[in-house]
Amino acid sequence: MENKPNRNSEKHKFDFKRKKENAINSLFEVEHFLCDFKKICNTICLYKILK
């Protein structure tokens, strides 16, 4: 058996800047998806009215 380093013994640096950027990008993508979804719903409703 090999001696594997214990995960707790390794020092992991918490990169707040990277986490913050990832969160902002995720929220930005969700916002655009919801906006596009709303436009699609409005288009479908308009299509049903004009049909």
Taking the CA atoms of residue 25, residue 30, residue 35 and residue 39 in that order, the dihedral angle to the nearest 10 degrees is: 130
- pLDDT at position 5 over 70: no
Task: Flag whether 41 is in a domain.
Answer: yes
- pLDDT at position 3 over 80: no
The pair of three-digit structure tokens given for residue 17, joined into one six-digit string? 């800047």
User: How far, in Å, CA of 6 to CA of 25, rounded?
Assistant: 33
pLDDT digits (tens, 9 = 90+) for 8-39: 555 678 888 999 999 999 999 999 999 999 99
Count of the separate structural domains present in the chain: 1
Task: Flag whether 20 is in a domain.
Answer: yes
Q: Which structural domain, as residue segments, surrounds residue 20?
A: 16-51
Task: Flag whether 6 is in a domain.
Answer: no
Answer with the residue of higher pLDDT: 7 or 45.
45
Task: Flag whether 28 is in a domain.
Answer: yes
User: How far, in Å, CA of 40 to CA of 25, rounded?
Assistant: 23
Task: Flag whether 50 is in a domain.
Answer: yes
Task: Flag whether 10 is in a domain.
Answer: no
